[in-house]
Structure 1
Amino acid sequence: MPFVWSKTRTNPIFTIISCISSAKKGIIRISRRKFGFALGLTDEDFENALPIFECIAHTGAILRGMLLGSPPENRAGALVNETMVCRYSEEFDTYLDKHYALGEDARAFFIVHSKVDKEHTALAAKVIARYANSERDQYLVREAARNMVRFKIAKFEGIYKAYT
């Protein structure tokens, strides 16, 4: 495993993803908490929360793609993931405002992700177009996309199951 890690760390795509992820992490954490507080959660709720199995599986699929996937395979998973995030964020933003009168501060996570993830999707598409040249790479791209859809849907089913 150390070989894969050291090899991946020098990959420029990994570097870009790391920078984006680091920058987004703080914003995501704050906006998620604001949304939770608007729904009545407390600091204690966040401190005592346990990871949901399906969310961990989804994260595992993303990490697998980052560490072991080819650049087009990695970006195919990201493209699908970001496209789905963008779409549900648009809907959550609209309907949390319309039906629950949540303000922009509480909807910040969804407002940001309905727009920013379009940029991430465009970047992923460029990487796929540039590097998915062989039949094998194209096959890996299709499989990565198919699997990410399944993981993303399972993640949401897990979240709904945990909170119903």
Structure 2
Amino acid sequence: LSLRDEFGQWDPRNQRPELWNLYNGRHTVGQHVRAFPISNWTELDVWRYIARENIELPGLYYAHEREVFERDGMWRAVGEVSRPRPDEDVVIKQVRYRTVGDMSCTGAVASNATTVHDVVREVAASTLTERGATRADDRISEAAMEDRKKDGYF
């Protein structure tokens, strides 16, 4: 369910929190409502579901060798919009992405997980959230992702 204006646009500042277990269908005129029934799932919940349902995923979600450089304690892939600075060495490491997003704000983690079950074990043992491990924006400022939302990133 998504209530949008006549141009198909939605205003994130006019959207209530997406707390599915507290979902309330009442809304005011002009207020946007979006429903995400799995929004309270953890990363581990998602991977266990993928394993249980035998969902096939692209290889990007699994560990593979890639040219990366370290910035702010995070592995960043070398690419058109993600270039190392002169003091950052490029190395080849086996990494995977705990989230697949914009290359300019998503980091990789060192990993040997090449199957769904490997990923489930890795995530279950992790002490760092996906966001904490891979969201480069959060290293810039605590409000970086919220700033992106205000600018229409989503």
Q: Same fold (TM over 0.5)?
A: no
Structure with a larger share of its residues in strand: 2
User: Structure 2 length as normaliser, TM-score?
Assistant: 0.27
Larger Rg: 2
Structure with greater contact order relative to length (CA < 8 Å, sep ≥ 6): 1
Structure with a larger share of its residues in helix: 1
User: Structure 1 length as normaliser, TM-score?
Assistant: 0.26
